[in-house]
Amino acid sequence: MTDDVRAELDAVAAARRRLDKQAALLDEREHAAIQAAWRDKVTPTEIAMRVGRSTAHVRKLRPDDVPPARMGGMAQVKRQSEQP
């Protein structure tokens, strides 16, 4: 292996470490923003659309001090029709 190839591999590895650090910081920022949206009573569907994640991912990040979102739309209609 030549010195040029070693240098290129080292440069790629260093760039990968920088990107991994940036990705971790971005994940923390996204997590904080999702939790803030939950506390501000934004629906999980709207949060998911805005951050480009699934509603399951958004629901997983719900803070403990916020109650689960109420079901809306057809799920709410179905639940009401099941009651006696």
What value does the mean pLDDT of the chain take?
86
- What share of the chain has pLDDT > 90, as a percent? 65
Query: Is this model's pTM higher than 0.75 or not?
Result: no
DSSP state of 66: S
**Structure confidence at residue 1 (pLDDT):** 81
DSSP state of 69: P
Write down the H helix ranges in the chain.
Answer: 3-39, 44-51, 55-60, 73-82
CA 60, 62, 67, 73 torsion-angle sign: negative
pLDDT(78) > 70: no
Query: Does residue 54 contact residue 48 with C-beta atoms inside 8 Å?
Result: yes
What dihedral angle (degrees, nearest 10) is formed by the CA atoms of 6, 8, 14, 20?
Answer: -120
For the segment 1-26, what is each residue's pLDDT rounded down to a tens digit? 899 999 999 999 999 999 999 999 99
pLDDT surpasses 90 at 82: no
